[in-house]
Structure 1
Amino acid sequence: MYKFSFIVILLLFQLAPAQEVTILDAETKAPVINVAVFNLDKSKTAISDFDGKCDVSFFTPNERIFFAHISYENRRTTKASILRRGGKIYLNLKAEQLDEVVMSISKWEQQRKDVPQKIASINARAIAFTNPQTSADLLQNSGKVFVQKSQLGGGSPMIRGFATNRLLLIVDGVRMNNAIFRGGNIQNIISIDPFSVKNTEIIFGPGSVIYGSDAIGGVMNFYTKKPHFSSNDSLTFSGSSSYRYASANNENTVHLDFNIGKEKWAFFSNITFNDFGDLKMGSYGPDSYLRNNYVSTIDGSDVLLKNGNPRIQVTTGYNQLNLMQKIAFRPSHNWDYSLGLYYSETSDYSRYDRLIRPTGDGLGLRSAEWYYGPQKWFMGNFQISQKGKNKFYDRMKINVAYQNFGESRNDRAFQNPVLFSTKEQVDAISMNLDFENKRMGNLRLYYGGEYVFNKVHSYGGQRNIEANMVMDAASRYPNNALWQTMAGYINGEYKAKPNLTFLSGLRYSHVWIDAIFDKTFYPFPFDNADLSTGALTGSLGLSWFPKEDLQFTWNGSTGFRAPNIDDVGKIFDSEPGSVVVPNPELEPEYVYNTEVGVQKNFNDRLVLKGTSFYTYMVDALVRRDYQFNGESQIEYNGELSNVQAIQNAAKAYVYGFELGLEAFLSDNLSVISNLTITKGIEEEEDGTDSPGRHVAPTFGDFHVVWKNQRLQADIFLNYNGEIANEDLAPSEKSKDYIYALDANGNPYSPSWHTLNFRSQYTISNAFKASFGLENITDQRYRSYSSGIVAPGFNLIMGLGYIF
């Protein structure tokens, strides 16, 4: 009887399912392979498999278990604790293991050490810790990108003296730049939800070989989060939610994402809503930055009111909704299909720098209203990828996307009953075909082609707010204008020696513009713009390790930007008293760039990085005085204005240094610092020169970071240098109302610094809390070229939940 009972018990024990835990990356949720699992005296050990799974049935419920991996921070817990949380445990990457692989240089995974061009990577872990309000803030928080803001709902990155339509935005392999990206400051980057971003890679310098037109100063690649499959055919469900509050603009943000996965199908949904109030500036700084008065319409009449609190920037608040849905299908290990749907919409939001423009006598304000209508962006993106042996490639990607952009501008002068409006929509279709070939020994080839089609819809109107009458007006762009480009490229990576890698590539791009001008409102001296132009760009670079802990890189490259519809066809007021008119006689602008980099690693405890660069531009497209039908002035929106146009009228050169430091003082304490110094000059055709408009001041940061398994804390200093009056671009000097005045009464951009603190505490595997203090000393400052004054003292609190 006892023998029979023992056999039954033994059989039941053998038939009982093993107790498994799944070990996952804390940010990507991907399984972690080869994790060592052991008890205190290492008498019991196990290793996680390809799916991150590990049998822990031989551990007792309350026995202390250790999880160790060469790339991850060690964790310790008990089996009972893990099983209570659904059998999952999350590991955090060590700081020195981050960003080993990059994708932006060739569109395929490459070892970062083999890339000769400077590239910065910001992963989801860093994004979650810095907790940015917008994707513009995400870039600024890196300490390597300068961001200009004309209003709270904005952010225009500047990289190596270039900005706006000379920088390229990419989202999941699709170019976001469209035919009406302008030379003035743009805010399209805020359409990208930081909560949806898995990784951001920033290429410094030309990226035209892979990405074509617009990639002159750099490329900003945003890779959003992907759906996760189940390791078997069972259904898995996971997700996260969070809330954030910021005191400087009374921000309230809520976010939710969730993933449903099976073995072959996976679905990922992402929802974020932001509500921002009027931004409050700091207490200590120039009085000229204060918002002393503002315009309000009372009983149909515009009146100038005194601001009860001049530190409140009335009106700057707005709200925003971001949605993303992804569906992935993996029928086999060789094929992947993915559909991504993205939508972003803002409320109306004021262009703050236009609302503070004074009248000629300085006693009033020029504008009663100046606001952007809702900024809308939709993208549908279908991707197919294949891997496996093939005669011509090892991997292939097909990317087909449709985008629709919507924006509008609305302005009305003080005590003028007429509200002028322009509204634009752009339909954009793109197709990319990319291949990787690794079958040629030490040579890897990347090649492919691209086609992009843009159609611009533009409308103008004017409404008398007193009589409630609506009339047609001139549109900003030629309606139904077309912009197209087709290109092919080849890029090669050759590993000459284990410590020496060469990277080189060529691309030919062709661009067409077809626009017909409506002469109803302006007697244009031309009927249409019909442009057909091509560009050949190339690059050559090397990465050399003379010693294991010392790296030298060199890269030479060319880039170009073809004129778009904004360049050849727009009509708008660029600044008080000036109007820009179309110019169909434009050619592409080209840049020639070289850079040298060095990196030294001292025993994995101290890493020093330095890059110097020089970029020369010819046929630069710049805004200059012009004549329209022989006249240097025309009437625009009821005001006599000087005529200007975009012209190939200048050369330019930009040079600078980018320095970085990472010091790991202990397993818990580290120091990180960045410094960027940039100088640039534009040379006119008549031989005169002037400072470059988008050359940022010297800027940098210094961080002291402490972290353990539960707490990460960062106390840091942000710094911006001064730009004296003689170093301001002419277009900036004309906007003296946004600048402080020096001892001679001339506008200049003062230096500033802020002291800040941020932290994140892991309450449990499910809950994380964040706490931050920005601008602790409550400085009142305005970043270079920005219309809006930066936040004063800012308390930030957030709570996140993972399920």
Structure 2
Amino acid sequence: MNLKLLFAFFFFISLSSISQNITVLNSQNNESISGVVIYNADKSQSEISDLNGVVSLDKFKDNEILFFKHLSFQYFSIEKMKLKTVLSVSLEPLTEGLDEVVISASKFEQGKRDIPQKIASISAESITFDNPQTSADLLENTGNVYIQKSQLGGGSPMIRGLSTNRLLITVDGVRMNNAIFRAGNVQNVISIDPFAIEHTEVILGAGSVVYGSDAIGGVMSFYTKKPKLSYTDNMDFSANAVARYATANNEKTGHLDFNIGLKKWAFLSSVSYTDFDDLRMGSHGPDDYLRPEYVVTENGIDNIVENPNPKVQVPTGYDQINLMQKVRFEPGNDLNFDLGLYYSTTSDYSRYDRLIRYKGDELRSAEWNYGPQRWFMSNLQVTKLSSHSVFFDKFQANVAYQNFQESRIDRDYQSPLRNSTNEDVDAISANIDFEKQLSLKTQLFYGVEYVFNKVNSFGEQENIDDNTTITALSRYPNNSDWSSMSVYTNFKYKPSSQFVLQTGLRYNHVLAHADFKENNVFLNLPFETSDVNTGALTGTAGVSWIPAEIIQWKLNFSTAFRAPNIDDVGKVFDSEPGAVVVPNNDISPEYAYTGDLGVRLNFEDKVIIDAATYYTFLDDALVRRDSELDGNSYIDYNGEYSRVQSMQNAAEARIYGFEVGIQIHFTKALKLTSQYNVIGGYELEDDEKLPLRHAAPDFGNTHLTWQNKKLTIDAYAMYNDEMSYNDLAPSEQSKDYMYAADEDGNPYTPSWYTFNLRTQYKCNPDLTLIASLENLTDQRYRPYSSGISGAGRNLILAVKYAL
């Protein structure tokens, strides 16, 4: 008997020495959460939950308080002793985002409550549920970003009355904007695979202090999924597969990603393929949007044929493939290396808004296509933690190479001459960013950056009758370059948890060189080269103040700038029928001065109201205006007598607006969210007030969502106010082919709405089904400034399997 007691005693002693592991779970659906950081009070010890949400607590002492931290979940702390008898810990998803951690404001993690600017965040869970077809659609789901489309393969964001090269896009901290980002609409954002995104942050307002040129109206930061280590001697393998089908454009999409995690190495591979057919618009709306006829070319002969279904927008279909390979090496807790390789390419796709233009009674173009839009990026990031350096506690160094390829092919109806231009941009960037805790109340962020772009551009004209090809005018000056060098610092002062002051400065110097010798064979410009050599000092100062639990105030002032790029100084293109833009070698940077005031009211997490107002003054604005070429106001361009225009510092702009969001949590399962945006302003030229081109009409959305552990149902509406003819910018008033006609026959944008229903059912932790029915009432609508109508009634079915 004594032997049995002795055996039992040693058995329990041995049990107590066995490793203590717990699983971290999502309280909403009991799914495991990987990537949760667990640390003690002085951060001397830390662990990270593995792919299955499992983490070891062995290195922590029994009397220590453990802190659990994850971007998408509320902070949680507990004494280790209390976890002795449990196998799991459940974390609550963030309800209203105030305690969320964001990265984009300073390139390092900060609590969202500390940021004086408004930031919209999209988590991986939201992306899965929203099920966007492209990353442009993903941005639109925030309710703060307006998306313009000239074709199905497009999506140009507008934020607070600004767009394109006045907004900045980053991918894993690397700027995507290049030297040929234009003032017109750009669709580069569709090169980013929404299936590969871990989370997205959108800074609403200027971000030039941290990001430099172009970040005038906002910064859209995409953070892709990271390889996950096992932190053990065993290999962890996980995979995700998605299949999706949509009826409005006969979309067929497949995605696969898998992760191999070792103790110090991890590998993540991702591939997505999407095939779109022509998009069908809705049945109820303006007949002006219908497509009654289109051009068919057979045996080299163009003919205009009747469209058997005028609601089908012919041709708009295309396909796209996205690849990503990432490698992570973590030799120690204080050092890691991340390598990312990204590739995206589309097929040729039609620029639909150009194909619906008429010249007299006939369609103007037989062809107007973008060639494949290709993007490649390789990015090496090194992150180092230090508790000993007097200069930093953490630094991140990025070295990246990108290659952008795009082309344009057009041919007039019944013309044998096909014009094409090809652009190739190589972009190299390097930056290093530092974080240093100066004291318990003060923190310093600082860094340096270098960017270099080389632009190659070629033009040719082909005669399709005899298959001869000659060199022609290129879109940009060939072999031109653009570079930027900058240094910045941000200072954070937090005397208490209720008050934060953040301020910063950045100096940027930009150089550009364009040589027009090749194009002067066709243009006869009065100059052969154009150079930009300019510097800009920008600053920001803002406060976040929480005087009571119920209310938070945010006030921020900032300056921002955009330096001329190769698109500004050297582009040649037909901006609209009868107009051609030519180079200008006498332009300078444009500057913006912005003030933001925001307030957030939180009534016990039941009702949350988030509102903000802003005002931006844009000085020396670069705009397209009438000009002369060698003393001529008109020239022959591609066989058409065209008005000469150029980019000029010819305007000022005043932009103001108001945005408000509300969340109402009726129960833990049922909530209502709504977002509404009001944008106003004008462009001032020669004391004349003109409407802003990229100020979208008032827009918003409202969602009523019910969720339990397995089923989520979202009934929502999207809506858009009218924009009258008098509210359209002059450049838009001339594009009657894109708009509906009002009672006087003038172009305008009617108001529109869609009712939609989205559901998600988690059959088990591995299998998820998603079904959406968009535009239930089959409305025929076209977003402002877009050349293509939105989808009609659209059933989307998707299945996701996680291994």
Give your verdict on TM over 0.5.
Answer: yes
Q: Deviations over 1:249-274 (max 9, x none)?
A: 00011000111011111111111000
Find the aligned partners of 2:74 and 2:96 in 1 and give their Cα distance: 10
Q: Which residue of 2 aligns with 1:434?
A: 433
Deviations 1:619-660 (A, max 9, x none): 000000000000001111111111000000000010000100
Give the aligned partner of residue 792 of structure 1: 792
Distance of 2:138 and 2:4 partners within structure 1: 67
CA distance in 2, matches of 1:761, 1:219: 33
1:89 shift after superposition: 10
Q: Distance in 1 between matches of 2:786 and 2:644?
A: 25
Output the amino acid matched with 2:554: T
* Structure 1 residue 396 corresponds to structure 2 residue 408: no
**Matched residue SS, 2:209:** helix
Q: Which residue of 2 aligns with 1:453?
A: 452
Q: CA RMSD in A?
A: 2.6
1:71-102: CA deviations, max 9, x gaps?
A: 5799xxxxxxxxxxxx9999772534686111
Q: Which amino acid letter does the alignment assign opposite residue 650 of structure 1?
A: A
Aligned residues of 1:73 and 1:93 also touching (Cα < 8 A) = no
Task: Write the distance in 2 (CA, Å) between the matches of 1:50 and 1:571.
Answer: 54
Task: State the partner residue of 2:245.
Answer: 245
Cα distance in 2 between the residues matched to 1:774 and 1:90: 34
Q: CA deviation at 1:55?
A: 9.8
Q: What is the match of residue 29 of structure 1?
A: 34
SS of the aligned residue for 1:184 comes to: coil
The answer (yes or no) to whether the contact 2:613–2:658 under 8 Å persists in 1 is yes
Q: Which residue of 2 aligns with 1:346?
A: 346
Alignment of 1:223-622 (within 5 A): 223-359=223-359, 361=360, 363-389=361-387, 390-517=389-516, 518=518, 519-622=520-623
- Answer yes or no: is the 8 Å Cα contact 1:28–1:198 preserved in 2: no
Q: Is the 8 A contact 1:27 1:125 kept in 2?
A: no
What letter corresponds to residue 373 of structure 2 in structure 1?
Answer: Q
Question: 3-state DSSP class of the match of 2:625?
Answer: strand
Amino acid at match of 1:279: L
CA distance in 2, matches of 1:166, 1:19: 52
| Structure 1 contact 27–124 (Cα < 8 Å) conserved | no
SS at match of 1:440: coil
Secondary structure class of the residue paired with 1:520: helix
Quote how far apart the aligned CAs of 1:687 are. 1.4
Identity of aligned residues (%): 54
Within 1, Cα distance between the matches of 2:757 and 2:651?
Answer: 44
Distance in 1, matches of 2:318 and 2:21, equals: 48
Which whole-Å CA distance do the structure 2 matches of 1:89 and 1:443 have between them?
33
Equivalents in 2 of 1:646, 1:791: separation in Å?
Answer: 35
When residues 580 and 540 of structure 1 are mapped into structure 2, their CA distance, relative to the original with a 3 A threshold, is: same
Q: For 1:84-233, what aligned pairs fall within 5 Å after superposition?
A: 93-96=93-96, 100-233=100-233
CA shift digits 1:740-785 (9 cap, x unpaired): 1111111110000110010111000110000101000000000000
After superposition, give the CA deviation of every residue in 1:229-282 in whole Å (9 maximum; x if it has no partner): 112121111111111111100001100011101111111111100011100000
Amino acid at match of 1:459: F
2:24–2:49 contact (8 Å) kept in structure 1: no
* Aligned residue identity for 2:698: T
Amino acid across the alignment from 2:763: I
**What is the Cα deviation at residue 30 of structure 1?**
2.0
**Residue pair 2:725, 2:746 contacting (<8 A) in 1 also:** yes
The change in CA–CA distance for 1:55 and 1:652 in structure 2 (over 3 A counts) is closer
Do the aligned partners of 1:247 and 1:794 also contact (CA within 8 Å) in 2?
Answer: yes
Change (3 A) 1:17 1:445: closer
The answer as to whether partners of 2:243 and 2:799 remain within 8 angstroms in 1 is: yes
2:80 is matched with none
Q: Does the Cα contact within 8 Å between 1:379 and 1:402 map onto a contact in 2? A: yes
User: Match of 1:723?
Assistant: 723
8 Å CA contact 2:719–2:753 kept in 1: the answer is yes
| Contact in 2 for aligned 1:24/1:32 (Cα 8 Å) | no
Q: Work out whether 1:698 is the aligned partner of 2:703.
A: no
Residue of structure 1 in register with 2:83 after alignment: none
| Corresponding residue number in structure 1 for 2:63 | none
State the distance in 1 between where 2:375 and 2:19 align: 49
TM-superposition CA deviations, 1:669-714 (whole Å, max 9, x none): 0000000000020011x21121000000000111100000001110
Partners of 1:596 and 1:716 lie apart in 2 by: 28
Distance 1:126 1:753 in 2: 22
Q: What letter is aligned with 1:480?
A: N
CA distance in 2, matches of 1:768, 1:210: 39
Q: What SS class does the counterpart of residue 415 from structure 1 fall into?
A: coil
* Contact 2:383/2:397 (8 A) holds in 1: yes
Contact 2:35–2:48 (Cα < 8 Å) also in 1: no
Partner SS state of residue 737, structure 2: helix
> Equivalent residue for 1:626?
627
Distance 1:277 1:13, change over 3 A: farther
Q: Within 1, Cα distance between the matches of 2:295 and 2:745?
A: 27
Query: Aligned runs of 1:21-100 on 2, under 5 Å?
Result: 22-23=23-24, 26=31, 29-31=34-36, 53=54, 93-96=93-96, 100=100
Deviation string 1:85-120 (CA, Å, 9 cap, x unpaired) is xx9999772534686111111111111111111111
Q: In the superposition, relative to structure 1, how do residues 27 and 735 fare at CA in structure 2: closer, same or farther (>3 Å)?
A: farther
> Does 194-203 or 436-445 show the bigger shift?
436-445
Gap change, CA 1:421 and 1:594, over 3 Å in 2: same
Paired AA for residue 217 in structure 1: G
Q: Secondary structure at the match of 2:227?
A: coil
**Structure 2: which 5+ residue stretches go unaligned?**
40-46, 58-67, 77-86
Distance in 2 between residues matched to 1:470 and 1:772, nearest whole Å: 49
> In the aligned structure 1, how far is the partner of 2:56 from the partner of 2:638?
74
Question: Paired residue for 1:79?
Answer: none
Structure 2 contact 246–252 (Cα < 8 Å) conserved: yes
Equivalent residue letter for 1:732: E
Q: Output the CA distance in 1 between the equivalents of 2:123 and 2:32.
A: 9
CA distance in 2, matches of 1:88, 1:307: 61
> Residues of 2 paired with 1:721 and 1:615: CA distance?
22
Structure 1 position 548, deviation (Å): 1.7
Deviation at 1:439, TM superposition (A): 2.6
CA distance in 1 between counterparts of 2:223 and 2:574 reads: 36
SS of residue in 2 equivalent to 1:330: strand
Rounded to whole Å, the distance in 2 between the matches of 1:94 and 1:117 is 19
2:141 and 2:326 map into 1 onto residues whose CA distance is 27
Alpha-carbon displacement from aligned partner over 1:378-409 (angstroms, at most 9, x marks no partner): 00000111011211111111100000000000
| Structure 1 stretches lacking a partner, 5+ long | 35-47, 57-66, 75-86
What is the rounded CA distance, in whole Å, between the counterparts of 1:592 and 1:253 in structure 2? 43
Distance 1:244 1:393, change over 3 A: same
Looking at structure 1, the residues matched to 755 and 323 of structure 2 have their Cα atoms a distance apart, in angstroms, of 34
Query: Take 2:98 and 2:504, find their aligned partners in 1: how far apart are those partners?
Result: 27
- Give the letter for the 2:669 counterpart: N
Kindly indicate whether the alpha-carbon contact (under 8 Å) linking 2:149 and 2:787 is maintained by their aligned counterparts in 1: yes
* Secondary structure of the corresponding residue to residue 248 of structure 2: coil
Structure 1 residues 668 and 647 mapped into 2: Cα distance closer, same or farther (>3 Å)? Answer: same
Contact preservation (8 Å) 1:294, 1:306? yes
Equivalent-residue separation in structure 2 for 1:460 and 1:580 (angstroms): 16
Within a 5 Å distance, the mapping from 1:750-789 to structure 2 comes to 750-789=750-789
What SS does structure 2 have at the residue aligned with 1:764? coil
Partner in structure 1 of residue 656 of structure 2: 655
Secondary structure at 1:593's aligned position in 2? strand
SS at 1:132 equivalent: coil
